[in-house]
Amino acid sequence: MDFFALTIFSGMFETFAAHGIIRRALESGRISMTPVNIRDYAAGRHRETDDRPYGGGSGMVMKPEPLAAAIKDARARCPEARTVLLSPRGTRFDQHAARKYAGCKGLIFVCGRYEGLDERICDGYIDDEISIGDYVLTGGELAAMVVMDAVIRHIPGTLGAEDAAECDSFSDQRLEHAHYTRPRFFEGRAVPDVLLSGNHREIEHWRMESALLQTLIRRPDLVENTGLTKQEKQVVKKWCRYLESLVSE
């Protein structure tokens, strides 16, 4: 899959590309990542990429011509790519969107700065406008890296264990179960016995219970969205019986 990041700060992507799973995905050829400096497409001696807003007011607006030229160039290199603008007014990015984007041939990220882009670029060149959350960043670069990271994990072969992304939090509207590693005892807390039992059925069941508990405590909205599975209902009934026993005289 081919990623392009249109930015005036292409250096921001260097560290991102140089570590861990992203680096391995690049080295294996499963992905390519091309930071594109919008300034290279700007005209004039000063290669300005922004200008004052029509109608007055504070802040600057990204000029349309360099952006259009940079997008056209990226599209010529990957004609099937979707063009995605990172912006706080976009639709909220989530795990479902990450999985969907992983099926694309390419993504061209447009990283806005200043007050934003000339609206004619949004109208004429942008396929999707997405936000990574209800807060305002100083530019779209970090958001583009967040989105790329989440998408790359869903490209087959990029993670160590082939099925690891399927076990992620949110993949089935549940947060992930708790994890433990050695030592068995740490600061007076022990690893749950079942995880040392070697009984895979019981371990799976414990993990399902743990995931449900984590989700109910931290993100009850996810459970409200999906309802409980038959197996989860049994677990909740068991908890209810237990809680009932605590309050009954």
Residues marked active site are found at 88, 115, 153, 168
Smallest separation (angstroms) from ligand ADE to the CB of 140: 4
What angle, rounded to 10 degrees, do the helices at 141-152 and 20-28 form?
Answer: 70
Q: From its phi and psi, is residue 20 left (phi > 0), alpha (psi between -120 and 50) or beta?
A: left
Q: Is 131 in the site for ligand ADE (CB under 6 A)?
A: yes
* Gap between the Cα atoms of 22 and 10, Å rounded: 16
Smallest separation (angstroms) from ligand ADE to the CB of 5: 12
**Of the residues 12, 88, 194, 208, which one makes contact with ligand ADE according to CB under 6 A:** 88
Question: Residue 122 or residue 191: which is nearer to ligand ADE going by CB?
Answer: 122
Phi, psi of 86 (to 5 degrees): -90, 125
Q: Is 143 in the site for ligand ADE (CB under 6 A)?
A: yes
Pick the piece of the chain touching ligand ADE (CB under 6 A) from 14-22, 85-93, 174-182, 194-202. Answer: 85-93
Q: Is 126 in the site for ligand ADE (CB under 6 A)?
A: no
Contact (CB, 8 A) for 167 and 211: no
Q: Is 137 in the site for ligand ADE (CB under 6 A)?
A: yes
User: Residue with structure tokens 């795990």?
Assistant: 95
Give the dihedral sign, CA 110/116/119/123.
positive
CA 239 to chain centre: 34
Pick the piece of the chain touching ligand ADE (CB under 6 A) from 23-31, 71-79, 128-136, 172-180. Answer: 128-136
Q: Interface residues with ligand ADE (CB under 6 A)?
A: 86-88, 131-133, 135-137, 140, 143
